[in-house]
Amino acid sequence: GCKTCLDSFYSELQLLPKRSPGAIVLIAKNTKTLRLHPLIENSPIPLYLDEQKKLIKEELVQMTDQILLFRAEGFTSFDILDYENALSEIR
Exposure letters 51-64 (e unless 16+ CB within 10 A, then b): eeeebeeeeebeeb
Q: Tell me the average pLDDT across 43-67.
A: 76
- Ordered by where they begin, the domains of the chain are 3-90 (3.40.30)
pLDDT, residue 59, reads: 82
Q: Please, which pLDDT band fits residue 7 given cuts at 50, 70 and 90?
A: confident
Q: State how far the Cα of 71 lies from the Cα of 22, in Å rounded to an integer.
A: 5
Strand partners, 14: none
The pairing of beta strand 47-49 with beta strand 23-27: parallel
Asked whether residue 67 carries a pLDDT value surpassing 70, the answer given is yes
Asked whether residue 58 carries a pLDDT value surpassing 70, the answer given is yes
Q: Tell me the average pLDDT across 17-44.
A: 70
Q: Tell me the average pLDDT across 13-24.
A: 70
Name the pTM for this structure: 0.60
Q: State how far the Cα of 1 lies from the Cα of 32, in Å rounded to an integer.
A: 13
pLDDT, residue 71, reads: 78
